[in-house]
Amino acid sequence: MGAEFVALSLPPLLIGILAAVTCALPGNFLLLRRQALIGDAISHVVLPGIVIAFLLTGTIATLPMLLGAAGAALLAVVLIEGVRRTARIEAGAAMGVVFTSLFAAGVLLLEQSDTSGVHLDVEHALYGNLESLIWLDATGWASLVDPVALAGLPSELPRMALALLIVCLALWLMWRPLAIATFDEGFAATLGLPVRAIGLGLVMLAALAAVAAFDAVGSIIVIAMFICPPASARMMTDRLGAQVGWSVAFAILSAVLGYVAAGYGPLWLGFENSVSAAGMIATVSGLILGVTMLAGPRRHPAGLARKG
Amino acid sequence: MVAIKDVNPVQAAPRNEGVQAPPPALSVAGLTVAYGEKPAVFSVDMTVAQGTMTAIVGPNGAGKSTLLKAVLGLVKPLSGEVRLFGLALSRARDRIAYVPQRASVDWDFPARVIDVVLMGLHRELGLLRRVRPEHLDRARACLARVGMQDFATRQIGQLSGGQQQRVFLARALVQQADLYLLDEPFAGVDAATEKAIIGVLKELQAEGRSIVAVHHDLSTVRAYFDHLFLINTRAIAAGPVADVFTGENLQRAYGGRLGEAQLAGGTLTG
């Protein structure tokens, strides 16, 4: 493994790992709050957001895309809360209504607008373009300490790293209030904790993770990583801190195994072409969940099934 | 609805507290709470003197839990005022502790018994202070008080209902509050747990603390509590158990839903 690996495989692999971990971290708390679907919702509503941003600016430059996605995520969160309160239905149903409607609206918008000249389509939204995030300036491992070459890294890498940093910092700061409010919201409120702001903060954190990861890896990975690594981790331990640790390990494992399997697996099996790395990473995370559900030491998944 | 003036008038919150007289642990004036259009609690006044142990009793759907939640700021009242030790809720938080209904949380949450008890120390610890050995000692002492010292490292989902209820009480004990507000602390617990909980509550009262509990078992009202607050959306009657726990008042609180047999069984005749 040398120059070719550093230029072609290292950046997408790192971005995949960063995206997986960034989504898995808030996913732990979403799962325990039975809000795991919110990741699904956010990653879908990102589509109309970026289409509208494209229609307004006429480019697919990063900043307007991210702003459009963030705006759509915010709108979705507000709509979900609004539907839940006015229609008095459960959160899952409210999310389902809002994100399918907005995603459908995004597909219609995309069809009606002239995006033929740019790389903007539903497939891109679903699968991302992980394999195309290559590092042309790299000539080998030495490039990792070469400032000139480093400047040519795909911009998704530092952006994803920044998103992960923000998520880690926020979770570290909110850890105890978030844990208390997640377990027992009423009790948390009597302690004077701002439980609604905490809940909203968590959703905003999830939106940040989804929007940052979406552009690089597509919504398939985002949806899978919000749910699968935390749910697998819940099978391994009965302690919150350990669960979050396991979820990070499973997210990294999914990203590495998935990327390698997508790139080389089909060749090993005698097929000619590689398959989508995003799809394979999500599939691997699902397989890991399956294994932990069958063999994990704590097989009573929060948010998936309940005993007694 | 019968007017409440005739018998055992509900005490109004004192308007003018003397400098020397301690303020009531809890005073509620004109409290109305509604979910949707129908009020769950209507125009309720309530006073709990310090050092007393009060049962809030009434039929299902009478607004017992809602009243407690409104006092704690968990539901927003349409109108009315709540004072705790003469203070607004936001200034009295360090003096109150809440024991929610056991069924209100998901016990599959990844936490050990000691983790749940330590949650009661959050106001002392704040955002970033670490849990130190003395905090652990205090949490363990509170577990011992409810007879759960051997379960500190047990996953909470593995406990029986009664054990879970005791953990909730231990979490409130570690808060070292002056007023304990409990929502159905004896619901669905075993006899040993019931005995342990009432023992601890009586100890708290002996220390001069005040207790208010939503309670549903008429047969134990006399034995467990010294004050009774009867509610059916409106306040029906309030005062010392000996005065308020009468067949007439219960009939008015429960209406036709309380059979003669229940009234007789409720130690009314004894």
C-alpha torsion sign, points A40, A41, A44, A50? negative
Asked if B180 is an interface residue toward chain A (Cβ–Cβ < 8 A), one would say: no
B122·A237 Cβ contact <8 A? no
Two tokens, residue B269: 């005749």
**Would residue A34 count as lying in a domain?**
yes
Alpha-carbon distance B249 to B8, whole Å? 9
Cβ burial, residue A124 (10 Å; 0-12/13-18/19+): middle
Count how many domains chain A has: 1
Give the Cα separation of B9 and B59 in Å (integer).
Answer: 20
For chain A, the farthest-separated pair of C-alpha atoms sits apart, in whole angstroms, at 62
In a domain, A77, yes or no: yes
Question: Is residue A202 one of the residues assigned to a domain?
Answer: yes
Of A176, A182, A189, the CB nearest to B74: A189
* pLDDT one-digit tens code per residue, A175-195: 999 999 999 999 999 999 999
| A–B CB contacts, 8 A cutoff, strictly below | 78
Q: How far apart are CA B166 and CA B188, in angstroms?
A: 12
Flag whether pLDDT at A303 surpasses 80: no
- In DSSP terms, B56 is beta-bridged to B214, B229
Q: Which residues contact B148 (CB under 8 A, 6 or more apart)?
A: B113, B163, B166, B167, B170
Q: A176 and B127 in contact by Cβ < 8 A?
A: yes
Cα separation, A205 vs A25, in Å, equals 10
In a domain, A230, yes or no: no
CA distance A258 to B162: 46
CA distances to A45, A151, A211 from A51, in Å:
10, 29, 14
Q: Structural domains in chain B?
A: 26-101+178-255 (3.40.50.300)
ipTM entry: 0.87
Q: Which of B74, B111, B123 sits opposite A186 (nearest CB)?
A: B74
In B130-233, the DSSP E strands lie at 179-183, 210-214, 227-232
Is residue A276 situated within a structural domain?
A: no
Question: Would you give per-residue pLDDT tens digits along chain B (270 residues)?
Answer: 444 444 444 444 455 545 568 899 999 999 999 988 889 999 999 999 999 999 999 998 899 999 999 999 999 999 999 999 999 999 999 999 999 999 999 999 999 999 999 999 999 998 888 899 999 999 999 999 999 999 999 999 999 999 999 999 999 999 999 999 999 999 989 999 999 999 999 999 999 999 999 998 999 999 999 999 999 999 999 999 999 999 999 999 998 666 554 554 454 443
Q: Is residue A32 part of a domain?
A: yes
Unique residue bearing structure tokens 């995520």: A73
User: Helix (H, G, I), strand (E, B), or coil: what is residue B9?
Assistant: coil
Q: What residues of chain B lie within 8 A of the CB of A240, using their CB?
A: 109-111, 115
- Residue with the bigger pLDDT between A263 and A246: it is A246
Name all contacts of A189-193 with Cβ < 8 Å and 24+ positions apart. Answer: A189/B72, A189/B73, A189/B74, A190/B72, A190/B73, A190/B74, A190/B93, A190/B96, A190/B97, A190/B98, A191/B93, A191/B122, A191/B123, A192/B90, A192/B93, A192/B123, A193/B122
Which DSSP string corresponds to B47-97? EE-TT-EEEEE--TTSSHHHHHHHHTTSS--SEEEEEETTB-HHHHGGGEE
Alpha carbon of A281: minimum distance to chain B alpha carbons (Å)? 27
Does B111 sit within 8 Å of A238, measured CB to CB?
Answer: yes
Report the Cα B240 to chain-centroid distance in Å: 16
User: How far lies B46's CA from each of A125, B43, B246, B251, in Å?
Assistant: 59, 10, 19, 20
Is B108–A190 a contact, with Cβ atoms under 8 angstroms apart? no
Q: How far apart are CA A134 and CA A154, in angstroms?
A: 7
Q: What is the pLDDT of residue B173?
A: 98
| CATH code of the domain in which A68 resides | 1.10.3470.10
CA distance B62 to A58: 60
Is A150 within a domain? yes
CB neighbours of residue B83 within 10 Å:
21
Confirm or reject contact between B76 and chain A (CB < 8 A). Answer: no
Any residues with CB less than 8 A from the CB of B201 and at least 6 apart, and which? B53, B180, B182, B185, B211, B213, B224
Which secondary structure element, helix H or strand E, spans residue A135, and what is its range? none
State which residues form the domain around A117: 3-218
**Chain A residues near residue B72 by CB distance under 8 angstroms:** 186, 189-190
The count of other CB atoms within 10 Å of the CB of residue A305 is 10
Chain B residues close to A192, C-beta within 8 Å: 90, 93, 123
A154 domain residue, yes or no: yes
- Residues in B closer than 8 angstroms to A239, CB to CB, are 110-112, 115
The DSSP output letter for B209 is -
